[in-house]
Amino acid sequence: MMYASVIIDISHENVDKTFQYRIPESLEGRIFVGTPVRVPFGNSSAVRSGYVVEVTDRPEIDPARIRDLDSAAKEGVTAQSRLIQLAWWMKEHCGCTMNQALKTVLPVRQKVRQQKDRQLRCLLNEEERKEAALEAARKHYTARQRLLEAFAGLPVLPYDQTVRRLRLSAAVIRGLEEKGILAVESQTRYRMPEYYGNPAFSAPARLNPEQQAAADDFCARYDRGERGVFLLFGITGSGKTEVYMEMIRHVLEQGRQAIVLIPEIALTYQTVQRFYSRFGRRIAVMHSRLSDGERYDQFERARTGDASVMIGPRSALFAPFPDPGLIVVDEEHETSYQSETVPRYHARDAARQLANLAGASLVLGSATPSLESYTRALSGEYRLYRLTGRAKPDSAVSQVQVVDLREELKSGNKSMFSRALAEAVQKRLDAGQQTMLFINRRGYAGFVSCRSCGTAMRCPHCDVSLTLHGSSRLVCHYCGYQQKMPDRCPVCGSPYIAAFGTGTQKIQAMAARQFPGARILRMDLDTTSRKGGHEAILAAFRRHEADILVGTQMIVKGHDFPDVTLVGILAADLSLYSPDFRCGERTFQLLTQAAGRAGRDRLPGEVIIQTYQPDHYAIACAAAQDYETFYQQEMAYRRALRYPPAAQMLCVLLSSGQEEALNLAAEELAGAASGGEESGVQVIGPAEAPVYKVNDIYRKILYLKQENYDILIKIRSRLEQIRLRSSWKTHVSVQFSFA
């Protein structure tokens, strides 16, 4: 006997309230997760609609008290059933419960008041209207006469304004309504976020041959019914956005809708403006700074067909479009697509899943594709489109220079500006051009390196940086390896070995001292936390109200600044030292993107990369703008240490308020993970999580590596079973996710 759990009111806050029904014989084989069904509910005989969220052979209550499903609903696949299926995928792959997944994909409907615009519509033709106005005048119905005259040449009038201006009573309007002379109509007014100004409509750019080839191939396949994943790999400024817009146009023409994901930070305003000036009011926007009302309305617009393109970070994916045909993930390599909270889904993977469910195509775009995506493109699983040149004919690729900071120290320059960079900035100041100074702060502050030779302290087993705990202990966050903090560099013996830490504020102060008179703006989390803070700073810089912009990785995202001719990267290595196996990839991506900022327009650009490790392949390849070589080297590293995408890696995060129970659980799961019949599973840890104690909760991590995803899934269910039977199950929570 099979049972289905059903949520009845999907728009309600209680999506986690499910009711179990028996699947009758007549419906066997037709009920799946996401299937819309009709069910008996409450004491009345009425049936209600709901969605199946789970199918199981285990009754939750006494089977005698479980009623039968009434029927499967006739309507085809709805947006809701698709999103519920997506939630199921999340539950299976991202280590969360079905409730948590449902709450993510079906955003709780806030109780926000719909705003309605009422209007008056005259139902008479022009002649009849004149006639009626004359008659009203004859009968001295002056209010009626005023209204009928106001309709001259204007069949629709705004309700409130007209009533006020013409001093009409409700009775007058009702009277005319009853006579069939006018109708009162109401129209939902959607709250529009600030983007909706009145940008001039912009005609599509004339695509260059590479852009055209990508768009044409995509559209031809689309028309043949071919759906799949496409990787649009184009250097910064190669015109990827124009290609997306062409693809979207094609999909919209066929009556389907499109979702465009952009990274969390910084891009929103400019991107929306570009899409808006192409597609007008068919654009809907979703992002974290919208009010509840605005959010609700944007989703409503997707549901009702008022909008057909949804733009935004991760959550835009959950737009309830009736029939999405294309999902675009711009800057697909960005880390902000990874959710940091449960469910820890990666929006790129969720997008692939949704595209599959919806029969849509997925387009991933990047100047520096993630190793995962590029590997799939090379294997033929994804179709690869390349854009190799700048789209604007007169914009050149910048000149890149690498400065070795060890040499600077040797020659007595202890400032954070190398002589080359200081000179280059001064040249821009004299010429009235702009400079961006970028500090790579994605890394943790806790790594330790030598300023004389550039050596960083790394784990001998995992080849990632060690992190300084307190003042004297270095720890590996993958395997738990520890060592004492040395007081001299183990390679060159220099005493200049210390934890690195430089903030944007300090750089701003140093720059002010080094370049007196220069106007300096700073952009980091402190200066942008206000609503609109980002846009204000960027707009001021674009208006050339400052000569130098100092900032974190925020400033390197897709902005176009025509007067910027110099980008200085102050400490390119910083992100190389974060205790994360992807830090080489992050560094390469950040440097390549930063270099892409310079000289986007008529003026040629220059990039200066300051580093302690000029020979590191991530830095050398970024300087040479050489993705292929970087990819080969990084994949060799991943293969050697079995990191993704060369292997699959399952992270098991354990947390507990009781340290003893936590240790017990971690040891037991580690033992069980390696003790099974599966071969070739490598178990690393347990180790303390990068932040071990948060709010009195202790956290440990275990990593499992294997080439075969299915084997890891099998081990995961075994560990789940062990947890359920354990003595510590009430004290320790366990989360699974894939790296």
Q: Which residues bind Zn ion (CB under 5 A)?
A: 450, 452-453, 455, 459, 461-462, 476, 478-479, 481, 489, 491-492, 494
Say whether residue 208 binds ligand ADP (CB under 6 A). yes
Query: Which partner from the list ligand ADP, Zn ion, none does 672 bind, CB cut-off 5 to 8 Å by kind?
Result: none
CB of 205 to ligand ADP, least distance (A): 4
Interface region with ligand ADP, contact rule CB under 6 A, candidates 152-160, 231-239, 534-542, 571-579: 231-239
Tokens of 469: 């705990």
Nearer to ligand ADP, 239 or 614 (CB): 239
Interface region with ligand ADP, contact rule CB under 6 A, candidates 87-95, 229-237, 419-427, 614-622: 229-237
Which residues on neighbouring strands pair with residue 566, listed in sequence order? 435, 606
Query: Which partner from the list Zn ion, ligand ADP, none does 459 bind, CB cut-off 5 to 8 Å by kind?
Result: Zn ion
The DSSP element (H or E) to which 407 belongs, if any, is helix 405-410
Torsion sign (Cα): 81, 84, 89, 92: negative
Interface region with ligand ADP, contact rule CB under 6 A, candidates 184-192, 207-215, 246-254, 622-630: 207-215
Nearer to ligand ADP, 80 or 593 (CB): 593
Query: Which partner from the list Zn ion, ligand ADP, none does 211 bind, CB cut-off 5 to 8 Å by kind?
Result: ligand ADP
Query: Which partner from the list ligand ADP, Zn ion, none does 478 bind, CB cut-off 5 to 8 Å by kind?
Result: Zn ion
**Are 11 and 51 a contacting pair, CB within 8 Å?**
no
**Are 573 and 454 a contacting pair, CB within 8 Å?**
yes
Q: Which of 51, 60, 38 is nearest to 102 (CA)?
A: 51
Query: Cα–Cα distance between 19 and 27 in angstroms, integer?
Result: 18
Query: Cα–Cα distance between 628 and 233 in angstroms, integer?
Result: 12
CB of 234 to ligand ADP, least distance (A): 5
Nearer to Zn ion, 494 or 733 (CB): 494
Say whether residue 264 binds ligand ADP (CB under 6 A). no
Nearer to ligand ADP, 241 or 578 (CB): 241
CB of 114 to ligand ADP, least distance (A): 37
Nearer to ligand ADP, 8 or 316 (CB): 316
Burial class of 56 by CB neighbour count within 10 A (0 to 12, 13 to 18, 19+): exposed
Exactly one of 79, 84, 133, 207 binds ligand ADP (CB under 6 A); that residue is 207
Classify 514 as helix, strand or coil. helix
Query: Which partner from the list Zn ion, ligand ADP, none does 665 bind, CB cut-off 5 to 8 Å by kind?
Result: none
CB of 493 to Zn ion, least distance (A): 7
**Are 88 and 41 a contacting pair, CB within 8 Å?**
no
Torsion sign (Cα): 594, 628, 397, 272: negative
CA 358 to the chain's CA centroid: 20
Query: Which partner from the list Zn ion, ligand ADP, none does 55 bind, CB cut-off 5 to 8 Å by kind?
Result: none
Query: Cα–Cα distance between 453 and 474 in angstroms, integer?
Result: 19
CB of 260 to ligand ADP, least distance (A): 12
Q: Which of 650, 729, 738, 734 is nearest to 700 (CA)?
A: 734
CB of 340 to Zn ion, least distance (A): 23
Tokens of 349: 């993977």
Contact mark string toward ligand ADP, 236..255, x via CB under 6 A: xxxxxxx-------------
Query: Which partner from the list Zn ion, ligand ADP, none does 391 bind, CB cut-off 5 to 8 Å by kind?
Result: ligand ADP
Query: Cα–Cα distance between 656 and 732 in angstroms, integer?
Result: 5
Q: Which of 320, 310, 260 is nearest to 290 (CA)?
A: 310
Nearer to ligand ADP, 236 or 527 (CB): 236
Listed as own residue / partner, the contacts of 105-112 with beta carbons closer than 8 Å and 24 or more positions apart are 105/318, 106/10, 106/15, 106/80, 106/318, 107/295, 107/299, 107/315, 107/318, 108/13, 108/15, 109/11, 109/12, 109/13, 109/296, 110/292, 110/293, 110/295, 110/296, 112/292, 112/293, 112/296
Say whether residue 375 binds ligand ADP (CB under 6 A). no
Say whether residue 353 binds ligand ADP (CB under 6 A). no
Measured between its terminal Cα atoms, the distance across the chain in Å is 38
Query: Which partner from the list ligand ADP, Zn ion, none does 462 bind, CB cut-off 5 to 8 Å by kind?
Result: Zn ion
CB of 611 to Zn ion, least distance (A): 15
Say whether residue 209 binds ligand ADP (CB under 6 A). no
Alpha helix ranges (H) inside 180-317: 209-223, 240-253, 268-279, 292-304
Contact mark string toward ligand ADP, 389..428, x via CB under 6 A: --xx------------------------------------
Classify 448 as helix, strand or coil. strand
Nearer to ligand ADP, 330 or 547 (CB): 330
Nearer to Zn ion, 269 or 444 (CB): 444
Say whether residue 234 binds ligand ADP (CB under 6 A). yes
Nearer to ligand ADP, 194 or 601 (CB): 601
Query: Which partner from the list Zn ion, ligand ADP, none does 476 bind, CB cut-off 5 to 8 Å by kind?
Result: Zn ion
Half-sphere exposure of residue 517, counting CA atoms within 13 Å on the CB side?
5
CB of 387 to ligand ADP, least distance (A): 7
Query: Cα–Cα distance between 211 and 378 in angstroms, integer?
Result: 20
CB of 330 to ligand ADP, least distance (A): 7
Say whether residue 263 binds ligand ADP (CB under 6 A). no
Contact mark string toward ligand ADP, 533..572, x via CB under 6 A: -------------------------x-x------------
Q: Which of 543, 546, 553 is nearest to 519 (CA)?
A: 546
Q: Checking DSSP bridges between strand 361-366 and strand 324-330, what pairing results, if any?
A: parallel
Say whether residue 34 binds ligand ADP (CB under 6 A). no
CB of 392 to ligand ADP, least distance (A): 5
Query: Which partner from the list ligand ADP, Zn ion, none does 489 bind, CB cut-off 5 to 8 Å by kind?
Result: Zn ion
Nearer to ligand ADP, 389 or 533 (CB): 389
Nearer to Zn ion, 196 or 481 (CB): 481
Say whether residue 605 binds ligand ADP (CB under 6 A). no
Total residues interacting with ligand ADP, rule: CB under 6 A = 17
Nearer to ligand ADP, 96 or 391 (CB): 391
User: For residues 663-722, which are near ligand ADP according to CB under 6 A?
Assistant: none
Nearer to Zn ion, 451 or 586 (CB): 451
Give the 3-state secondary structure of 684-699. Answer: EEEEEEEEEEECCEEE
Q: Which residue's entry shows tokens 């504020």?
A: 505
Relative orientation angle of helices 583-595 and 627-641, to the nearest 10 degrees: 170
Cβ contacts of residue 285 below 8 Å, gap of 6+? 193, 195, 268, 272, 298, 310, 311, 312
Nearer to ligand ADP, 545 or 560 (CB): 560
Say whether residue 328 binds ligand ADP (CB under 6 A). no
As a residue count, the chain comes to 739
Amino acid at 116: K
Nearer to Zn ion, 475 or 654 (CB): 475
Relative orientation angle of helices 419-431 and 504-514, to the nearest 10 degrees: 70
Query: Which partner from the list Zn ion, ligand ADP, none does 494 bind, CB cut-off 5 to 8 Å by kind?
Result: Zn ion
CB of 311 to ligand ADP, least distance (A): 14
**Are 519 and 545 a contacting pair, CB within 8 Å?**
yes
Nearer to ligand ADP, 243 or 711 (CB): 243
Contact residues toward ligand ADP (CB under 6 A) are 205-208, 211, 234, 236-242, 391-392, 558, 560
